[in-house]
Amino acid sequence: MTTTPLRLYQVGTFAAGNRLLDPSERTVQSSADRASSITSGHRACRGCGEALAARVVMDAAMRATGGRLVTVNATGCLEVFSTPFPESAWQVPWLHSLFGNAAAVASGVAAAMRATGRDDVRVLAQAGDGGTVDIGLGCLSGMFERNDDVLFVCYDNQGYMNTGVQRSGATPAGASTANTRPVGSGIGNAFGTGKNLPRIAMAHEIPYVATATIADLHDLEAKVTSAMSRRGARYLHVLVPCPLGWGSDASDTVRVARLATQSGLFPVFEAEHGTVTQVTPIRRRVPVEEYLRLQTRFRHLFTEPGRPDVVAALQAQADRDIARYGLDPEEES
């Protein structure tokens, strides 16, 4: 494919910066011949973190597999906004079956590819946090323990956004959702609940587990590429802010994701066979408050009289994970 030589004065500094990198380090998205696996024109909300993540993940996986990719999608926002019949945003073979079975369906696809001599075709399953940590956990755990050759990507927006923002097993403590309203002395979603799926995945000792956010697309692409270079069950957990459900500004999606990592609330790391092998250190550590204040789901923590105790508890949670994963380079040294 021919490309027009780029002149620096034609574009903003971010894009130009990408092109100043060594070609091997450039993002998939910066390439004119990227797969564009999800075309524009789909029905995602403005500022949707999931749509951005899915595009980046899919294009990276397409590049890593040379276009030999099939994807299975759980029910959820991604499925709904991308395939309103008779339209489809997908430029890859795409199958949606049910909410809770994406992992098992993907296992079936992978088995079929193996049995029919098409091992070169790789399988990527994707689901939201509901379809991953809650209703889809049984099938996902089965896929993990059989070590089926599937990369399962969870786009975690921390709740059931498609059905009107109810809590899921991935909703953080203190968050207000449609069914965890901070009424009376309530704080929203309770402490001591929820599950940490990357750690559950690691407990299965599968070849590869990683977390990422849409705040670092280079990192996200690199992890998809790394995942696709391996065989067996792999799990990628991507934090994707949801302006609708989180009450954040549509223009703040990337910023919110970045603050989630920089506050320590969302550790970014890689693990192989159950052991953490790589962490992304925090560059500029921020108090959790900086992250929480951008989202109306945490507003009740800051309106008079406020809940400094809850904020402190969340800060403690972040501090614990920073220590656990060694995310603070200064503390580590």
Partner 1 sequence: MRRQLEGSLAVADTVARCRPRVVAAYPISPQTHIVEALSELVASGGLAPCEYLTVESEFGALSACIGASAAGARTYTATASQGLLFMAEALPNASGLGLPMVMTVANRALGAPINIWNDHSDALSQRDAGWLMLFASSNQEAVDLHVQAFALSERTSLPVMVCMDGFVLTHAVEEVDVPEQEQVDAFLPDFHPRQSLDPDHPVTIGAMVGPEAFTEVKYLMAHRQLRALDEVSAVAQEFESAFGRTSGGLLQPYRTDGAELVVVALGSVLGSLADVVDELRDEGLAVGALGICCYRPWPFDEVRDALRGVTDVVVVNRAVAVGSGSILGQDVRLSAPRGTAVHDVVLGLGGRPVTRDVLRRLVLDVVTGRVGSDSLTFFDLDHDRAAAELARELADTVPANGGGS
Residues that bind partner 1 (CB under 8 A): 67-70, 72-73, 79-80, 83-88, 90-98, 100-101, 104-117, 121, 138-139, 141-142, 145-146, 148
Least Cβ distance, residue 131 to partner 1 (angstroms): 12
Q: Please identify, using beta-carbon distances, which residue of 105 and 288 lies nearer to partner 1.
A: 105
Which H/E stretch holds residue 223?
A: helix 217-228
Least Cβ distance, residue 273 to partner 1 (angstroms): 21
Q: Please identify, using beta-carbon distances, which residue of 42 and 300 lies nearer to partner 1.
A: 42
Q: Please identify, using beta-carbon distances, which residue of 125 and 288 lies nearer to partner 1.
A: 125
CA gap 198, 136 in Å, rounded: 14
Which region holds residue 274: left if phi is over 0, alpha if psi is between -120 and 50, else beta?
Answer: left
Least Cβ distance, residue 81 to partner 1 (angstroms): 9
Q: Please identify, using beta-carbon distances, which residue of 41 and 86 lies nearer to partner 1.
A: 86
Q: Please identify, using beta-carbon distances, which residue of 48 and 279 lies nearer to partner 1.
A: 48
By three-state DSSP, how is residue 253 classified? helix
233 and 104 in contact (C-beta within 8 Å)? no
Q: Please identify, using beta-carbon distances, which residue of 124 and 265 lies nearer to partner 1.
A: 124
70 and 92 in contact (C-beta within 8 Å)? yes
- Name the nearest CA neighbour of 77 among 142, 165, 17: 165
Least Cβ distance, residue 54 to partner 1 (angstroms): 14
CA gap 308, 291 in Å, rounded: 14
Least Cβ distance, residue 18 to partner 1 (angstroms): 27
Question: What is the chain's alpha carbon radius of gyration, rounded to the nearest angstrom?
Answer: 20
Least Cβ distance, residue 203 to partner 1 (angstroms): 15
Torsion of CA 247, 251, 254, 257, to 10 degrees: -20
